[in-house]
Amino acid sequence: MLTGNLWIVDTTGWVVVINALVASAVLVGLGWFLARGRLTSGVPEGRQVFGEFAIGFFIKKAREMSSGHDRAKVVGTVTPYLGTFFFFILLCNLFSLLPVPVVNRPPTSFFSATLALALCAVIGNLFVSARFKGPGGALKHLFWPNPMQSVGEVTDVLSLSLRLFGNIGGEYMTVVLVAAVVPVGIPLILHVLGLIPSFVQALVFTLLTASFLASAIHHEERKKKAKRGWFGRKRSEPRAQS
């Protein structure tokens, strides 16, 4: 179970599909539960506080990349996109906390699942940027100003998927190996420590997707070139006092 088949979906492969479906069902149910009822634009209370706390970070990230575009449109498009990635990956990572032996394998410890997520992120970035710059502008970003940027997209897929897979799969393997040697006590500590990468890797995946997206939808303004001295410092600027 541990050595050969970590990469590819085979006989144990239904775990990844079922667990991912369960995670998405939990996510949809949670979203429905939080958005249900009376929502107010005044002082929120109850569930609305939690929901706004959960998506506030992504609204902030979306606002940061909205310069030069319609801010409401950017926030309305980018916030659900990033938030879905974060909460789905977080829920998938938390599957290792379940006390049931076969079911507790996180879907993100399969390379196929993380590869699918990374493909969704990179291709989705193309579609989201096509919404703001048009299809031509989105495709132009792949080849202009540097034609190697299209190669960069492929390496983005590889780095995003391998990072998530290595962290979560490695943590899962560590827990399983240690639990085979010492079944009581020590795995609890490892599970508690495993909470940190499960949160951080979901955050890192989302932040990297956000930074790729920010560079994709960046609004290019034609500016007059400022005359610069050496080291990129403007002639008119005073020398920085340290």
Which residues form the interface with another protein (CB under 8 A)?
A: 3-4, 6-7, 159, 162-163, 165-167, 170, 200-201, 203-204, 207-208, 211
Q: Based on CB atoms, which residue is closest to another protein, 69 or 163?
A: 163
Q: Identify the three-state secondary structure at position 130.
A: helix
Q: Based on CB atoms, which residue is closest to another protein, 103 or 200?
A: 200
What minimum distance in Å lies between the beta carbon of 162 and another protein? 6
Q: Based on CB atoms, which residue is closest to another protein, 77 or 209?
A: 209
What is the residue whose two structure tokens read 């240690």?
Answer: 178
What minimum distance in Å lies between the beta carbon of 181 and another protein? 18
Q: Is the preceding omega at residue 145 within 30 degrees of 0, hence cis?
A: yes
Main-chain phi, psi angles of 234, to 5 degrees: -70, 145
Q: Please give, one letter per residue, the 3-state secondary structure of 60-103.
A: HHHHHCCCCCCHHHHHHHHHHHHHHHHHHHHHHHHHHHCCCCCC
Q: Based on CB atoms, which residue is closest to another protein, 138 or 198?
A: 198
Q: Based on CB atoms, which residue is closest to another protein, 96 or 167?
A: 167
CA 142/CA 149 separation, integer angstroms: 5
Measure Cα distances from 80 to 46, 58, 60, 210, 225 in Å: 21, 8, 12, 12, 37
What minimum distance in Å lies between the beta carbon of 204 and another protein? 4
What minimum distance in Å lies between the beta carbon of 165 and another protein? 8
* Element spanning 185, H or E: none
What minimum distance in Å lies between the beta carbon of 207 and another protein? 6
Contact 59, 79 (CB under 8 A): yes
Q: Identify the three-state secondary structure at position 234.
A: strand
Q: Based on CB atoms, which residue is closest to another protein, 64 or 220?
A: 64
What is the residue whose two structure tokens read 């699918």?
Answer: 116
What minimum distance in Å lies between the beta carbon of 235 and another protein? 28
Please state the length of the chain.
Answer: 242
